[in-house]
A and B are shown apart, each in its own frame.
Chain A
Amino acid sequence: MTIEAPYALRFDRASVRFPGSTTYALENISLHVAPGELLTIVGASGSGKSTLLRCVNRLVELCDGRIEIDGVALDTFAIDPLRRTIGYAIQGVGLFAHLTVAENLALVPESLGWPRARIDARIDEMLATVRLDPQVYRRRRPRALSGGQAQRVGIARALMSFPRLLLLDEPFGAVDPILRPQLQAELLDVLRDARTTTLFVTHDVDEALFLGDRIAVIDEGRLRALGTPRALLDRPSDDFTAELLCGDALLHEYRRARLAVRERGQ
């Protein structure tokens, strides 16, 4: 089976203004995401980071500027077929309560016309990848899952059909803080195997630093900083970024030390 190459993504002065609003939800965002890169997008609630993500699968439309996938303008793609190549998981996961875990996972592959046997095999493979025993969890309904298990199923669903781009909107936002580091580490493993381009939205600075190849800092709809965790921690480009990422001296030191551990691990 051929797995298609991950998408490259380019935002070119992308702006969003919601109907009836006088201010921009996103203003002049320009950035490039390389194929296979994991870009974390960090900012406070209401900063526009989720809007940025939702522009990519056109849940939100731009009012100005453009987004390109592999150099082709986003709005020239047929939307549903494009969305089927983009994995999507959100806070609270968005699993369908009336469907079993297996039925939730099968939705996109069925839409792509995969044969049943291939879907079943992939469900087992993905559940094993996110450390859930397929024999136990296939027939469970979302209500019978813990928060962490539901989150794993959400990630598995997003990755089911070998997406060329993955959009994760605070996928661990509703997870117990004790479980978060474990899920983050697991996600890194899964993404390393999946080798897909990923946009990961979070308001958790430590999560952004730990996961991202690069970090985009968003504030009031504007891109305040863009760079590797090391670059932004060592040389924050403005006061806002410095305050958000570095915090006080103690926190700054802790984050740099944690990042050094991650870098050694790589």
Chain B
Amino acid sequence: MIAAILAHIALCAVGVAVAATIAVPAALIFADRPKFERSLSALLGALYTVPSLALLAVLVQFIGLGNTSVEVALVMYALYAIFRSTVTGLRSIPAEQREVAVALGLPRLKRRLQIDLPLALPAILSGLRVATLGSIALATLGGYVGGSGLGTVIFTGFALQNRTMLVQGAIGVVTIALLAELAFRALERVVRLRASG
């Protein structure tokens, strides 16, 4: 059971981390280019609306059974929430602060990393929270396609009509989700306080 919980957490952590590695820089690049940003948002939004089981079924055709298919699905779903929240965070930086950063002549990269990113961090964290909670739920479905994690426990419980396994798996998923929610909320509070000085 512990191994399944750890595997579940690892699956989600890797998925969200990879998605953030793609989505945050993409948002930093495209937030000021509305045309590209709208196109990318539409694409990621479309991916987000594909039913998860259908997406897994398609991915298995190309990648095969196992964790890789699950990871790819997790990344595809997490991208949208993280990209959108980062764009929103960047756009909600007060105009006066953005303008001062420009007027000081700070190089674009320094402006993005030292000014924009920290000021947008509360919004980014809220996107990461949404993506993480979604991943924790979605990773459970990975049990269908040979993924590790608590999904395996739940689906085995189903197959064997073993209520203990079913309940253990379900409680495990709920507990991870609750802890993730609490951890992100606490982190958001700290970051919000820091961003406001």
**Which B residues are CB-close (under 8 A) to A96?**
97, 100-101, 115, 119
Q: Is the CB of B104 within 8 A of A88?
A: yes
Decide if A206 is an interface residue (CB 8 Å cutoff): no
Q: Is the CB of B197 within 8 A of A94?
A: no
Residue of A nearest to B105 (CB): A83
In whole angstroms, how far apart are the Cα atoms of A108 and B102 in the complex?
11
Q: Is the CB of A82 within 8 A of B105?
A: yes
Chain B 77-97 near chain A by CB (<8 Å), digits 1 or 0: 000000000000000000011
Decide if A118 is an interface residue (CB 8 Å cutoff): no
Decide if A142 is an interface residue (CB 8 Å cutoff): yes
Contacts A94-B100, A110-B110 given; indicate if A84 touches B105 (C-beta within 8 A): yes
**Which A residues are CB-close (under 8 A) to B110?**
107, 110-111
Decide if B34 is an interface residue (CB 8 Å cutoff): no
In whole angstroms, how far apart are the Cα atoms of A149 and B197 in the complex?
15
Q: Is the CB of A107 within 8 A of B104?
A: yes
**Which B residues are CB-close (under 8 A) to A141?**
197
Q: Is the CB of A111 within 8 A of B97?
A: no
In whole angstroms, how far apart are the Cα atoms of A97 and B122 in the complex?
14
Across the A-B interface, how many residue pairs have beta carbons closer than 8 Å? 64
In whole angstroms, how far apart are the Cα atoms of A37 and B106 in the complex?
26
Partner of A81 from the list B101, B105, B194, B197 (CB cut-off 8 Å) is: B105
Partner of A98 from the list B99, B104, B107, B194 (CB cut-off 8 Å) is: B194
Cβ of B94 to closest chain A Cβ, rounded Å: 9
Q: Is the CB of A142 within 8 A of B197?
A: yes
Chain B interface, number of residues (Cβ within 8 angstroms)? 21
* B contact patch SS: helix
Q: Is the CB of A107 within 8 A of B106?
A: yes
Residue of A nearest to B118 (CB): A98
**Which B179-197 residues have C-beta < 8 A from chain A?**
194-197
Decide if B3 is an interface residue (CB 8 Å cutoff): no
Partner of A97 from the list B102, B107, B108, B196 (CB cut-off 8 Å) is: B196
Cβ of B188 to closest chain A Cβ, rounded Å: 14
Q: Is the CB of A83 within 8 A of B195?
A: no
Cβ of B83 to closest chain A Cβ, rounded Å: 22
**Which A residues are CB-close (under 8 A) to B104?**
83-84, 88, 107-108, 111
Decide if B21 is an interface residue (CB 8 Å cutoff): no
**Which A residues are CB-close (under 8 A) to B194?**
98
**Which B residues are CB-close (under 8 A) to A110?**
110
**Which A44-69 residues have C-beta < 8 A from chain B?**
57, 59
In whole angstroms, how far apart are the Cα atoms of A98 and B195 in the complex?
5
Chain A interface, number of residues (Cβ within 8 angstroms)? 27
Cβ of A55 to closest chain B Cβ, rounded Å: 12
**Which A89-145 residues have C-beta < 8 A from chain B?**
90, 92, 94, 96-99, 107-108, 110-111, 141-144
Decide if A218 is an interface residue (CB 8 Å cutoff): no
Decide if A41 is an interface residue (CB 8 Å cutoff): no
Residue of A nearest to B196 (CB): A97
Contacts A84-B105, A88-B104 given; indicate if A94 touches B96 (C-beta within 8 A): yes
In whole angstroms, how far apart are the Cα atoms of A85 and B114 in the complex?
20
Contacts A94-B100, A96-B97 given; indicate if A108 touches B105 (C-beta within 8 A): yes
Chain A 141-167 near chain B by CB (<8 Å), digits 1 or 0: 111100000000000000000000001
Decide if A80 is an interface residue (CB 8 Å cutoff): yes
**Which B85-141 residues have C-beta < 8 A from chain A?**
96-97, 99-108, 110, 114-115, 118-119
Partner of A86 from the list B96, B105, B119, B195 (CB cut-off 8 Å) is: B105
Cβ of A58 to closest chain B Cβ, rounded Å: 9
In whole angstroms, how far apart are the Cα atoms of A197 and B97 in the complex?
24
Offer 21 A-B interface pairs, CB within 8 angstroms, sorted by A: A57-B103, A59-B99, A59-B102, A80-B107, A84-B104, A86-B103, A88-B100, A88-B103, A90-B96, A94-B100, A96-B100, A96-B101, A98-B119, A99-B114, A107-B104, A108-B106, A111-B106, A111-B110, A142-B197, A143-B197, A167-B103
Q: Footprint of A on B, CB under 8 Å?
A: 96-97, 99-108, 110, 114-115, 118-119, 194-197
Q: Footprint of B on A, CB under 8 Å?
A: 57, 59, 79-86, 88, 90, 92, 94, 96-99, 107-108, 110-111, 141-144, 167
